[in-house]
Structure 1
């Protein structure tokens, strides 16, 4: 069937209406969306992923004139929600927010799903890992901390930020490998997320937390912690005083929690085209920029095919880190 854009369809219909004739291929092209669209979120209400997908949903609804309903499908370390997106009918009415965990779960044997099971539409956000220490820590710079880590006996220093094998654990592993140390030279204390890890840091229970700076913001603003560096190519404009590891330690390692919109594999071309155009509008909008900047979320954009490439690169790097850390299993 000939694929045409929404604009072409409307223009064609208008022209045909004037002559009383609609061309055959246009008859089979249904307008989209004509009913509510479900946006699946693999993580719980109130979290960063949920907040981002809800502002995207609100702006899409405003532009396309149909409800975009966010549905939280949690469980299985992200497997449940990601499965719901991948197995939805490929008609454009089940889409969702895909997160960095899709590049990790199959390496850990949690699912056979990979990034190749989706139609990528747009990368909308990526928050690199940061390194946080207690406000009165003797380590004033990331160089100070790195030297202390090298001098410390294996396993003496402790870090946290998420569960065992989670994205922030992989950040620590990649950092250790970048310093030519064993992946577990700094021991990992599993937590239920960045918030409890930061509380433990402030209480003196651990030495450092590897999580995104926005997640640590409450403790940073309260003067109870400091960020020493981020694992990214460039500084975050919202936290411009926090340097990158590349510029301080010379370690060219990037890792972070990214988020993008996608759908089941095989989405119709017209749906993909409309969504890619609309998501770029969302990304460029003042409402989205104000929302993201106000919360310290880093903005990064990649259109459909480039988002697919980005996921593939992330998948490879996560596989290397998980294998190095002894966390990889066969699905």
Structure 2
């Protein structure tokens, strides 16, 4: 059989593996919030090229982020074919009256440099206006990294807070050691249903603006300037050590792959800086250490050490006897705050 994968300038050469952009596009546009997509090659510091994807969102729908799209396409694509870079555009980059998609040189035209494995997810997402149909494939496209707009998060929070019994709220970014632009929200009173609130926010905010955590408090401590006191900033860093030998093994593999201090067993792999490439390395070490037939897609269903260990135990994990419990030091990253006290919905 002969399979047509595209012209040599259009296919993606990931470490010698030839990837068809059409296969990636077909998987991406199946997402209900993706109207259309164009896959293209992006340089990588080790693998030569990886998959990038222009995404045109469905009108009126929040944008998907990189983690959301990777999780979605993991059902149909091998990890090597998951997008590593997203560029949001208002329409597809097409040329001339034929509306032929321009995928050649897209990375260089958008000034997207080589992807590094240590690069944060939000630093791999860009927004740009689609080029004019008459533009050359060598003309530059102004692309900028997506912004973490705390004012927009607060605007939406004010609109929806009364429906969830929220009295006071504050949102911050920069609290996380590996995700310095991650968003977190603090709300009062303590009885707020944070899962319901998060679900409402997801329907109004781009995925990368939805708070990674919503912390409930009896009251918001404030300094004279109206910003959270340092005591408030430390609440997100509760460290839960491993409680089973399997969790110790996975924590050890996690620390080897991501570096830094051993994390809490409830830390999220992707929120700690994990990528689909690093996920493959993590699962490879877990398979070797525990003798379980896990795949890289497992990390999307089990994103914490605790959940991944439970799955490994279900698969009959064989834990080496030399592993013992460890403790991890909490992060001391100071967040950037932006909040409102006693905010109410706008008229």
| Larger proportion of helix | 1
TM-score (norm 2): 0.25
TM-score (norm 1): 0.26
Higher RCO (Cα < 8 Å, 6 or more apart): 1
